[in-house]
Structure 1
Amino acid sequence: MTNGQEIGLATSRRQLLAGAGLFVGLAVTAPLVRRALAAGSGPLFSLGVASGDPLPDGVVLWTRLAPEPLAGGGMPNRPVNVQWQVAKDERMRQIVRQGTVTARPEWGHSVHVEVSGLQPARWYWYRFKVGNEVSAVGRTRTAPAVGTHPARLRFAFASCQNYEAGYYAAYRDMAAQDLDFALHLGDYIYERGALPGRVRQHDGPAATSLEQYRNRYALYKLDADLQAAHAAFPWIVTWDDHEVQNNYAGLIPEDSQDPQTFRRRRAAAYQAYYEHMPLRRSALPDGASLKLYRRFAFGDLLALQVLDTRQYRSDQPCDDGLKPRCAAALAPEATMTGTDQERWLFGGLSRSHGRWNVIAQQTMMAQFNSGSDAEPIYNLDQWDGYVAARSRLLAFLAEARVANPVVLSGDIHSSWVSDLKSDFEKPESATVATEFTGTSISSDFPKDWIRRVQAALPANPHIRFFDGAARGYGLCTLERGLWRTDYRSVSDVTRSDSPVSTLAAFRLEAGQAGAKRL
């Protein structure tokens, strides 16, 4: 038996091998756990299972023990041994890796297992056990090996799944797709308090404490369609603002709360995020810090750079909002990523051997003037508020001749396809990259803004496509010479059984800038 490596919960290989009675110990631990739980407690694995961060030789496996998921989890204040298994078959008969991890109360009894020693580019199945209680079986896939030449990859990207705004029919559709992985670009939860008259309701007031954030994640993860999508393939995740607070920037809150109070809030939010995501040890939070930016390679077909544009950004210029730019929006020191992450990004892109080079990040990168030439209006929470940083990135992509760069974005609750120009003020300037901005899984886009955006499109000719009415996700199919993005659209977000169809599809040809509608 070869054991994987537990992440962040500190059961070492030496402890596993020395503990000859670990599997027997599970049988002892489980009844103790059950006796300690309140009468009427639900199943231990109520929040489902997930996998993530696929590498050629392994993945991260996740679950969390939560028999009372909306009441802090409901577990006794003691460590619990959890057995995990990875198999070549769905019936879990051909076990290839297994081991035991310790779910600890200080981490919300979450479980992160870093499995290694797997074969590249193949499917595996996994599950967890505590005594006689067994989790659902999840499916995961390793990445193609370095130096290989995959002919095809398929993945989805999604963001903005406000529980109160609607159901997750988009995830039901996504789970049925044949995907290598899913990419989540942020706003996995919304921290806001419950609002009357919504399709569904949050579990209480705005989340500010660790227990409140835990309960909010639990509410979202109880959704069956979201659980199904997590169990169908590995996820690669990053965050945006609502995992902490709307439009926060670094350690600067949106409102006027005390900085130390916000630091404690961000620390609680970051810990809850880690506890509920399939993340590696490198993402283990340290107080109000958590390193989330990272990169992945899928053979030589896809190089993926995943950014964090919230934790390190400077404050939104001009007092934030939708308005004309002030001088601060053009300042060279204004940053979305921070200096270290920008340097890391440029270094990774310069060394990439990927046929397609993807930058996965949060807010829309393309310039969009929703006003007029006389009075331009920009969204200053987006890259339009950080013009110099955007210019440096686009200039680097051009000068380094990065192969087939594609930017994937979320946040704005609407679908866009954009040419990223070397100079947005000159439509004839070179197209440096293509941006696909995905709509939300469920979050609203203001209806009165649809007409306003449409009216402004002629003055923004680099915007190839816009739709603000549809909810859904993006579906990307990569071949060596061709990229295709389908915008999958939910007919009615207020129905859990809503049909899902393709709203629009676009293709990119390798070596040729600019998307073309199919």
Structure 2
Amino acid sequence: MERRLFLADLTRYAALCAVVPNIWRVTSRPHFADNPFGLGVSSGDPTPTGGVLWTRLAPRPNDPDGGMEGTRATVDWEVAHDDQFKNIVTKGRATAGPELAYSIHVDVDGLEPDRWYFYRFMSGEAVSPTGRFRTTPPDGARTPLHMAFMSCQRWDQGLFTALGHVAREEQLDLAIHLGDYIYEGASPATALRKHQGLEIRTLDDYRRRYAQYKSDPNLRAAHERCPWLVTWDDHEVDNNYAGLVGENVMESTEQMQQRRAAAYQGWWEHQAVRVPRVKSWADLNITRTVNWGSLSRFYMLDTRQYRDDQACGDMIKPVCADSLDPKRTMLGAAQEQWLYNGLGSSKAHWQVIANQVMMAQYDAAAGPDFRVSMDQWGGYPVARDRLLGEIGKRAPNRTVVITGDIHTNWVHDLHNGFSRPDRPVIATEFVGTSIASDGDGRDIDAARLSTMQSENPHLKWYSARRGYVRCRIDEQAWNVDYRTVPFVSRPDAPISTATSWRLQHGKAGAERTA
């Protein structure tokens, strides 16, 4: 190279470095102003030989770049048989950069099936908390599963006490979060603990909101306890959004596309998930299956991104002609067919549909009037009955639907369609309450429950307290405990089992056991 060209290039590179000083800088010995692992660690999407391990470097989460000041840093990780890391099984190194909020997603492979491991991250002199992770049983095994599922943890309406109890469950192989991991709105002046900032819309907004939620010690402890499966609902983006239609109907498609891209990227950056790479964050596909040996297959659905807009002006409304249009869909044609094909081809003993919004029909009006929530499957009755018909043909009485969203507990018989009451029961839906959304909740008297059941005879139980659902699954049955706390407005609420249910494999309908 000629000397004058070399000097010219050197001048240009120096000018570029003055604008973006850390563009090529990667340090293996970073110095942090505060603990960079304050958002904790988590694991998820387990397989027989591995899974995804997550953390994020954020010494000061509310600062730009989480306080990392543009520095790219190496992060070492270790997986061991013991929590003292004396018997390390595998280890490696990753680089955390600003493009993905300094998040780390390690897709570990080569582990033994059906066993527990411990993992941790290190950067500079900082060491993360230790997480527990387990691989799934191998194909063909029907190893029993102990799991819990939960949803709806609104920061400003209650403490995450129930998640602390999840972290202390004696046997817990897997946790499933069905959406509303964060809430996007601003907090009222009377909030128990306030959201930082106003309603979130930009990528930096979503990053700070996730960081605020992950600052909760109960949430971090629950993530450390076992691997999680996560999906999203509406509040990870915008209340009751549908596809590219937001709550504010005057938002343009371009505005919602940008908001969805920011929200989906922020979600991915803070979750231990294995999802395919996409050209646009606005089109991130989170639909996937996870197997627990041959005992159960979990179908992780997305009921927001592909749905048609809610009919009849949304909310709880009488059924209108628009809602009965057979072309309307909750899942989108591709996801519908993927689910049908899976139900038909899977040899798993139990088929588990991890679903965001209530599937069972619910008439919210007493007497001859008929009113349903247009945001739930009741607002998409043809699509719902189409799905239930496929369950009836392909996997009857071995399919379980687990649901979140509604901030209350329900047990439902699912009929082979709800257009006629004489259709047979072909599945059961267990709906879990919220972790904190809607505050302390309340008790429901027998008269109120009787009225609800008279309008909805497939409803078997209902409660309006906070908590989560614990399940013990084997070849013979699903055993379900509804775990509830009496309050979330102050710390240290005790946990108790409000009721227990048993669903036998091959038998229609769940039976109450306690």
* TM-score, structure 2 normalization: 0.91
384, 390, 398: which one aligns with 1:390: 384
Matched, 1:58 2:54: no
Query: What one-letter code is carried by the residue in structure 1 that aligns with 2:324?
Result: L
194, 200, 204: which one aligns with 2:193: 200
Deviation digits for residues 485-518 of structure 1 (CA, Å, limit 9, x no counterpart): 1110012111231101111111101110101111
1:319 counterpart SS class: coil
Deviation digits for residues 139-182 of structure 1 (CA, Å, limit 9, x no counterpart): 001010012231x1110000000001111111111111111110
Partner of 1:357: 351
| Distance apart, 1:373 and its partner CA | 4.8
88, 113, 116: which one aligns with 2:81: 88
27, 30, 34: which one aligns with 1:29: 27
| Distance apart, 1:71 and its partner CA | 2.6
Partner of 2:270: 276
Partner of 1:455: 451
Query: What one-letter code is carried by the residue in structure 1 that aligns with 2:111?
Result: L
1:390 counterpart SS class: helix
482, 495, 500: which one aligns with 2:495: 500
1:396 counterpart SS class: helix
Query: What one-letter code is carried by the residue in structure 2 that aligns with 1:495?
Result: R
2:421 counterpart SS class: coil
1:344 counterpart SS class: helix
| Distance apart, 1:423 and its partner CA | 3.8
1:112 counterpart SS class: strand
Distance between the aligned counterparts of 2:424 and 2:397, measured in 1? 15
Partner of 2:156: 164
Range with greater deviation from structure 2 (94-103 or 453-462): 453-462
Q: Cα 1:228–1:315, aligned 2, differ >3 Å: closer, same or farther? A: same
1:203-222 matches, cutoff 5 A:
203-222=196-215
Does structure 2 conserve the Cα–Cα contact (< 8 Å) formed by 1:414 and 1:445? no
Distance between the aligned counterparts of 1:195 and 1:145, measured in 2? 49
Query: What one-letter code is carried by the residue in structure 2 that aligns with 1:337?
Result: L
| Distance apart, 1:78 and its partner CA | 3.1
| Distance apart, 1:222 and its partner CA | 0.5
Partner of 1:417: 411
| Distance apart, 1:447 and its partner CA | 7.0
Partner of 2:484: 489
Q: Cα 1:338–1:158, aligned 2, differ >3 Å: closer, same or farther? A: same
Matched, 1:379 2:388: no
Partner of 2:5: none
1:128 counterpart SS class: strand
| Distance apart, 1:449 and its partner CA | 11
Does structure 1 conserve the Cα–Cα contact (< 8 Å) formed by 2:328 and 2:383? yes
Query: What one-letter code is carried by the residue in structure 2 that aligns with 1:483?
Result: W
* TM-score, structure 1 normalization: 0.90
Range with greater deviation from structure 2 (411-420 or 492-501): 492-501
Q: Which of the two has higher C-alpha Rg?
A: 2
Does structure 2 conserve the Cα–Cα contact (< 8 Å) formed by 1:350 and 1:402? no
- Structure 1: state its 5+ residue gaps: 1-27
Q: Cα 1:466–1:283, aligned 2, differ >3 Å: closer, same or farther? A: farther
Does structure 2 conserve the Cα–Cα contact (< 8 Å) formed by 1:365 and 1:435? yes
1:336-355 matches, cutoff 5 A:
336-355=330-349
Query: What one-letter code is carried by the residue in structure 1 that aligns with 2:297?
Result: A
Q: Cα 1:108–1:292, aligned 2, differ >3 Å: closer, same or farther? A: same
Distance between the aligned counterparts of 1:510 and 1:285, measured in 2? 42
Deviation digits for residues 405-426 of structure 1 (CA, Å, limit 9, x no counterpart): 0000000000000001124354
Does structure 2 conserve the Cα–Cα contact (< 8 Å) formed by 1:409 and 1:438? yes
Q: What's the % identity of the aligned pairs?
A: 46
1:99-178 matches, cutoff 5 A:
99-150=92-143, 152-177=144-169, 178=171
Does structure 1 conserve the Cα–Cα contact (< 8 Å) formed by 2:384 and 2:417? no
Distance between the aligned counterparts of 2:409 and 2:288, measured in 1? 25
Does structure 1 conserve the Cα–Cα contact (< 8 Å) formed by 2:396 and 2:426? no
Q: Cα 1:268–1:314, aligned 2, differ >3 Å: closer, same or farther? A: same
Query: What one-letter code is carried by the residue in structure 2 that aligns with 1:488?
Result: R
273, 281, 284: which one aligns with 1:287: 281
Range with greater deviation from structure 2 (64-73 or 91-100): 64-73
- Structure 2: state its 5+ residue gaps: 1-25
Distance between the aligned counterparts of 1:131 and 1:285, measured in 2? 33
Distance between the aligned counterparts of 1:444 and 1:418, measured in 2? 22
Q: Cα 1:291–1:430, aligned 2, differ >3 Å: closer, same or farther? A: same
Deviation digits for residues 311-334 of structure 1 (CA, Å, limit 9, x no counterpart): 111100111111101111111111
Query: What one-letter code is carried by the residue in structure 2 that aligns with 1:213?
Result: Y
Distance between the aligned counterparts of 1:447 and 1:57, measured in 2? 41
Does structure 2 conserve the Cα–Cα contact (< 8 Å) formed by 1:427 and 1:462? no
Query: What one-letter code is carried by the residue in structure 2 that aligns with 1:500?
Result: I
Distance between the aligned counterparts of 1:351 and 1:243, measured in 2? 32
| Distance apart, 1:284 and its partner CA | 5.8
1:290-329 matches, cutoff 5 A:
290-329=284-323
Range with greater deviation from structure 2 (296-305 or 222-231): 296-305
Partner of 2:36: 44
Deviation digits for residues 321-376 of structure 1 (CA, Å, limit 9, x no counterpart): 11101111111111111000011101111111111110001000000001145321
Distance between the aligned counterparts of 1:214 and 1:489, measured in 2? 30
Distance between the aligned counterparts of 1:287 and 1:356, measured in 2? 33
Does structure 1 conserve the Cα–Cα contact (< 8 Å) formed by 2:397 and 2:507? no
1:439 counterpart SS class: coil
Matched, 1:234 2:227: yes
Distance between the aligned counterparts of 1:165 and 1:341, measured in 2? 34
Q: Cα 1:439–1:515, aligned 2, differ >3 Å: closer, same or farther? A: same
Partner of 1:183: 176
Range with greater deviation from structure 2 (319-328 or 423-432): 423-432
Does structure 1 conserve the Cα–Cα contact (< 8 Å) formed by 2:317 and 2:374? yes
Matched, 1:367 2:361: yes
| Distance apart, 1:402 and its partner CA | 4.4
Distance between the aligned counterparts of 1:284 and 1:465, measured in 2? 42
Does structure 2 conserve the Cα–Cα contact (< 8 Å) formed by 1:354 and 1:403? no
Does structure 2 conserve the Cα–Cα contact (< 8 Å) formed by 1:60 and 1:112? yes
| Distance apart, 1:30 and its partner CA | 4.9
Q: Cα 1:281–1:374, aligned 2, differ >3 Å: closer, same or farther? A: closer
Distance between the aligned counterparts of 1:275 and 1:136, measured in 2? 19
